[in-house]
Amino acid sequence: MVTVRAPATSANLGSGFDVFGAALGRPADVVRVEKADRTTIDVTGYGSEFIPEDPDANTVGAVAEALDAPAHIRIDKGIRPSSGLGSSGASAAAAALALNELYDRGLSRRDLVPIAGKGEATVSGEVHLDNVAPALLGGFTVATGRDVTVVDADIPLVACLPEIAISTRDARDVVPAGATMDQLVYTVGRAATLTTGMCRDDPRLVGKGMHDRLVTPARADLISGYNEVREAALAAGATGVTVSGAGPGVLAACYPDDRHDIASAMVGAFSEAGVDARAYQTKIGRGATLYPDD
Ligand SMILES: Nc1ncnc2c1ncn2[C@@H]1O[C@H](COP(=O)(O)OP(=O)(O)O)[C@@H](O)[C@H]1O
Ligand SMILES: N[C@@H](CCOP(=O)(O)O)C(=O)O
C-alpha cells in the first residue's frame, strides 16, 4: 500500500487566473492505494457525502486510467469539496503520486502534473493546472501550458471557508469573455507585483498584487458577505484579499503575527452576513508527501 498526503491549494491569487497557484500548509487530503484488477474508490471525511465513488466521476479515476494503474483507492477528505481550496485537485494529485509509486512508473512530479490535470478536468470541464501543480510541487507556482515555474515562497496566509458550495464548473461560467486594454495593463502590473513579492518573501507586495478587476468581481457576487469579509480582513491587517480559486473560499495574505486577528475578523464578518465559516491560519507550504509501503 502507498499513502500520499496532498495539500489544499489556492489558485489564481487574484491577478493570475488559471496560472498562479499556491500550496497551503493545511488542510490536506490523504489517499491510500493498493493494486487491484479494476479501480474502485472509497471516500470518507469532510464532505464525502457529496463526492462520487464512481471512477468515471471522481477525479482519481481518470488519473488511474491515464497511468494504466488500476487500484483500490481510499480517499480521506480533509478538504471540503466545492471549496475553492483545490479539493478535487488535491485528490487527483495525491492519486497520481501514489499510483506512480505503486506501479513503479518512474514519472517525475512534473510529469505527473498534466496527468493529475486530466483528473481535475473531469469535474471542472477544462484542464487548468493551477491546483494540481502546487499540490504536487509545493510553493507558489506559475503554470503556463505545460511549463510550471516554482518559487519556494514563505508567505503567511489565512484561508476562510464559508458554508456555501460553489462548483468550479459553475464559477467558470461567470468569467468575462473578454477584457479591455486598461484591464489587461492593470492585471499584468498586479501579476508582476505578486510574483516579485513571492520571490522576495514580501507579504506587502503579494497582497498588493492580489488585486484584480477582471475575474474576481464577477465571482465575488456569488459569495454572500464577500465585500464585508474583505474589508474586515484588511482592517485586521491583511495585505491583500481575494477569492480563493473559483470560491467560495476567501484568501488573505498577511504578516505572521496578524493571522489570528484576520481569521477572527473574517469568520465574524461571514457570521454577520448569516454565513457560518471556518478559517485556516496557514502559509505557503510543501507539495504532496509520499509514505511508501505504509
Ligand atoms: N476526489 C474528489 N475530491 C473532491 N471533489 C471531487 C472529487 N471527485 C469528484 N469531485 C467532485 O468535484 C466537485 C468539486 O470540485 P470543484 O468544483 O473543482 O471544487 P474544489 O476543487 O475547489 O473543491 C464536486 O462536485 C465533487 O463531487
Ligand atoms: N483557475 C481555476 C481554479 C479553480 O480552483 P478551485 O479550487 O475552485 O477548484 C478557476 O478559477 O476556475
CATH of residue 128: 3.30.230.10
Does 288 reside within a domain?
A: no
Is there a single domain that holds both residue 169 and residue 263?
Answer: yes
Domain containing 186 equals 156-283
Indicate yes or no: pTM above 0.90: yes
Active site residues: 120, 168
Is there a single domain that holds both residue 66 and residue 176?
Answer: no
Count of domains for the chain: 2
pLDDT in tens, the chain (294 residues): 999 999 999 999 999 999 999 999 999 999 999 999 999 999 999 999 999 999 999 999 999 999 999 999 999 999 999 999 999 999 999 999 999 999 999 999 999 999 999 999 998 888 899 999 999 999 999 999 889 999 999 999 999 999 998 888 889 999 999 999 999 999 999 999 999 999 999 999 999 999 999 999 999 999 999 999 999 999 999 999 999 999 999 999 999 999 999 999 999 999 999 999 999 999 999 999 999 776
Atom of ligand 2 nearest to the CA of 219: 11
* Alpha carbon of 121 to ligand 1 centroid (Å): 10
Which one of 151, 176, 199 terminates a domain?
A: 151
Is there a single domain that holds both residue 22 and residue 142?
Answer: yes
Atom of ligand 1 nearest to the CA of 167: 17
Ligand closest in space to the Cα of 143: 2
Question: How far apart (Å, rounded) are the C-alpha atoms in residues 41 and 55?
Answer: 7
Does 294 reside within a domain?
A: no
Residues with CB under 6 A from ligand 1: 50-52, 58-60, 75, 81-89, 91, 123-124, 167-168, 245
